[in-house]
Structures are given as structure tokens and as C-alpha cells.
């Protein structure tokens, strides 16, 4: 059994980490922290009353290092890198759910802020296990991908080599409202969100450069990603629709099937995917349909799990030499 720490326990991804790790056969939660401390898991998340009664302390790197070997950081970007740096020095394996180690230095500084841990940035791994398994196994910091890039990259990457050069790639990505986090806002009230739907930041979302960068890194192709996120009246879940133009006619369904033939957490589907079938799981479901040279690629994930916390635990499993699926649920919440 390894001892693990969760830092940033108050939010939705913090809660999901706790929910997974409580039952993990190889990890033992020994340290839970948030920015204020002085509370308990049960106070933060009343649904865990009678399940886990553990103190939540104010985060402190040394204390953490005295109690755990692995740390999950569910912190805002910028805060995260300051803290991760200390943990690496203390020889703690870090799975960082923020944006801080996801991007190349230049891209990061253009879209976020000056980077404060450039040394570790170089040696971090991007935590998309289907594509970076070796790096994940051998790094000190895993940069856990955002939910939009996870669902988009898994759907898009099999087809990048077949696309018309320089043509636009359109990503229409719909997220459940838990993706907006716990911070109160007019946008996410029930009255405004229920029976409603709307795009936000079209072509300007910070996850677009993350997608572009990883496509380039993995395929050597500069993709014209045009990314439009929307919020849908759903608590958890994400549905991504990608529209692209093929260079040559190919058998898209066959390409997809072969590409993921050995990946247990990607399911290639014969019908358009839906949100409920992946909700509660680490699965990414993908479907593709072709119309001449036009392609519709369609993926679904649980934004809080495959898009955050369960993928983080898969990454921790790999860092520790465990099976990728150790302690990871495949059973959807449906109905």
C-alpha cells in the first residue's frame, strides 16, 4: 500500500479523487488538505458522512511529505506549480490536475502567466496514458490533461494523418456544468442553465492551444483547431463533436477500431455516443461517421473522471508500476 495525499479537497475533482481512492486497493489516503484547513472531509462533502472521517488540514509541503509518497494536486493553475516544485524536491510523485505542466513554456506563458518551475516543466509527462505511457511511468510530475483536450485528442488523433492539409478542424465541445467548478456565477445557476444551452469563448478557449500543441507533438502536423465550447444542462459529462475534411477517402470506422484495439479505456462504438454511458467511469467512447470527405468524430467522457480525477489515478497507477486499471471503475452511473 502506498500513502497518497490529496491537495485541493474542496472542489469537484477533489471529491472525485477521494471517492476513487477510498476504495483503491493499493493506495491509502493519509493526507487531505485545502487552502484553509481546519475542517473534515465530511464537512466539505456531506455525502461522505459515515464513509470517511478524516481531517482536512491547511496545505503544507513538509507535512505532506512526512505522510505520503504521492500527491494529487487539484489546485488552481499558478498555485499548483509553486507547490509541486516543493514536493518534487521532497521526492514526492506529483499528479497535477492544473494547467501548469501541460504546455510548452512558450505556449504556457502566452496563455496563462510566467512559469515558476521551468526545471520540472521539462521533465513532466502529459498524462494521456494512451499516448504517453512511457513518459508517465518515468516522470516526477504528471500534467493531467483538461477534460476538453482529453475528449478531443482521443477522438481526433487517429484521423490527423488522413486530413486535408491546412483545412479547418472544428471542435464543438459540450460540457456539463460541474466543468465550470464550484465558484458561484450567474451562468451556472439552475434558473439560467436549466432548459438552456449556449457556447462561450468561441475560438478563444485556453484549451485550444493545448490540443494544437499535443497534435503537433504526436503527429508532426500543425492542426488548425477551431474550438467552440458550450455548457449544457447536465451535471457531469462531456460530448465532443469534431468536424473535419479528409484528404483522401478512407475507411474511418476501420481506422478507429484498429487504432484503439488494445486500449481498455477507449470504446469504439457503432452508434453516436452519449453522455450517460461514460458517466461515472474512466471510459472514452468514440464514434465516427463519414459523408464523402467529411468526417464527424464524436466522443464522450465523464468530465470529472476521464477528464480529471480517474485519469489522474490511472496516471498514479502507472507511475507506481501498477496496472493502469487498478481501482478504476468501469461501471457507469446510468440510469
Region 283-312 residues binding a copy of itself, contact defined as CB under 8 A: 283, 289-294, 296, 298, 304
The region of 25-33, 68-76, 90-98, 272-280 touching a copy of itself under the rule CB under 8 A is 272-280
Question: How far apart are alpha carbons 236 and 333 in whole angstroms?
Answer: 11
Contact flag: residue 205 with a copy of itself (CB under 8 A): no
Gap between the Cα atoms of 67 and 58, Å rounded? 14
Q: Segment contacting a copy of itself (CB under 8 A): 1-9, 87-95, 308-316, 325-333? A: 325-333
Residue pointed to by grid coordinates 475533482: 13
Interface residue with a copy of itself, options 4, 7, 10, 19 (CB under 8 A) = 19
Smallest distance, a copy of itself to C-beta of residue 267, A = 5
Q: Which parts of 23-52 interact with a copy of itself (CB under 8 A)?
A: 23, 45-51
Judge whether 90 and 61 are in contact, CB under 8 Å. yes
Q: Which of 198, 217, 221, 254 binds a copy of itself (CB under 8 A)?
A: 198
State which of residues 102, 174, 207, 214 lies at the interface with a copy of itself (CB under 8 A): 174
* Catalytically annotated residue among 139, 147, 250, 326: 147
Q: Is 221 helix (H, G, I), strand (E, B) or coil?
A: coil
| Binding track, positions 117-156, relative to a copy of itself; x by CB under 8 A | ----------------------------------------
Looking at the Cβ atoms of 119 and 291, the one nearer to a copy of itself is 291
Nearest 10 degrees: Cα torsion 23, 27, 33, 38:
60
Say how many residues touch a copy of itself, by CB under 8 A: 81
The DSSP line for 231-266 is: E-S-SS-EEEEEEEEBSS---HHHHHHHHTTT-TTE
Q: How far apart are the first and last CA of the chain?
A: 34
How many Å apart are CA 115 and CA 175, to the nearest integer?
Answer: 28
CB within 8 Å of 59: residues ≥ 6 apart: 7, 33, 34, 35, 37, 83
Alpha-carbon gap, residue 59 to 208, rounded angstroms:
31
The reply on whether position 276 binds a copy of itself by CB under 8 A is yes
Active site residue 147: yes
Per the CB < 8 A criterion, the answer to whether 197 and 255 are in contact is no
Beta carbon nearer to a copy of itself, 100 or 302:
302
As measured in angstroms, the least distance from the Cβ of 331 to a copy of itself is 5
Shortest gap between Cβ of 48 and a copy of itself (angstroms)? 8
**124 or 278, CB closer to a copy of itself?**
278
Nearer to a copy of itself, 158 or 237 (CB): 237
Interaction with a copy of itself in 208-247: which residues (CB under 8 A)?
224, 226, 228, 230, 232-237, 239, 241, 243, 245
* Axis-axis angle for helices 207-219, 147-156 (nearest 10): 40
Q: Could you give the residue numbers annotated as active site? A: 147
Amino acid at each position: 500500500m502506498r500513502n497518497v495525499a490529496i491537495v485541493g479537497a474542496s472542489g469537484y475533482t477533489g471529491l472525485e479523487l477521494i471517492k476513487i481512492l477510498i476504495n483503491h486497493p493499493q493506495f491509502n489516503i493519509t493526507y487531505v488538505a485545502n487552502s484553509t484547513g481546519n475542517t473534515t472531509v465530511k464537512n466539505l462533502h456531506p455525502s461522505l458522512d459515515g464513509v470517511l472521517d478524516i481531517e482536512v488540514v491547511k496545505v503544507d509541503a513538509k507535512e505532506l511529505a512526512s505522510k505520503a509518497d504521492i500527491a494529487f494536486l487539484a489546485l488552481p493553475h499558478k498555485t499548483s506549480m509553486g507547490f509541486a516544485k516543493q514536493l518534487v524536491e521532497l521526492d514526492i510523485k506529483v499528479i497535477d490536475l492544473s494547467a501548469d505542466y501541460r504546455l510548452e513554456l512558450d505556449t504556457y506563458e502566452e496563455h496563462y502567466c510566467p512559469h515558476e518551475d521551468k526545471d520540472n516543466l521539462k521533465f513532466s509527462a502529459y498524462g494521456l496514458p494512451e499516448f504517453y505511457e512511457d513518459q508517465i511511468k518515468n516522470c516526477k510530475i504528471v500534467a493531467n490533461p483538461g477534460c476538453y483536450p482529453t475528449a478531443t485528442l482521443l477522438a481526433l488523433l487517429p484521423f490527423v494523418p488522413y486530413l486535408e492539409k491546412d483545412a479547418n478542424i472544428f471542435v464543438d465541445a459540450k460540457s456539463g456544468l460541474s466543468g465550470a467548478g464550484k465558484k458561484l456565477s450567474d451562468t451556472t445557476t439552475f434558473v439560467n442553465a436549466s432548459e438552456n444551452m449556449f457556447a462561450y469563448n468561441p475560438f478563444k478557449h485556453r484549451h485550444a492551444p493545448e490540443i494544437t500543441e499535443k497534435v503537433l507533438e504526436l503527429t508532426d502536423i500543425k492542426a488548425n483547431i477551431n474550438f467552440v465550447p458550450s455548457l449544457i444542462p447536465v451535471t457531469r459529462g462531456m460530448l465532443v463533436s469534431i468536424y473535419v475534411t479528409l484528404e483522401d477517402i478512407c475507411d474511418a470506422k476501420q481506422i478507429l477500431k484498429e487504432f484503439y484495439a488494445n486500449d481498455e479505456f477507449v470504446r469504439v462504438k457503432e452508434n453516436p455516443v452519449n453522455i450517460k454511458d461514460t458517466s461515472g467511469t474512466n471510459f472514452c467512447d468514440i464514434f465516427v461517421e463519414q459523408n464523402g470527405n467529411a468526417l464527424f468524430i464524436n466522443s464522450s467522457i465523464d468530465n470529472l473522471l476521464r477528464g480529471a480525477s480517474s485519469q489522474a489515478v490511472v496516471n498514479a497507477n502507472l507511475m507506481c508500476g501498477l496496472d493502469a486499471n487498478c481501482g478504476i471503475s468501469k461501471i457507469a452511473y446510468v440510469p
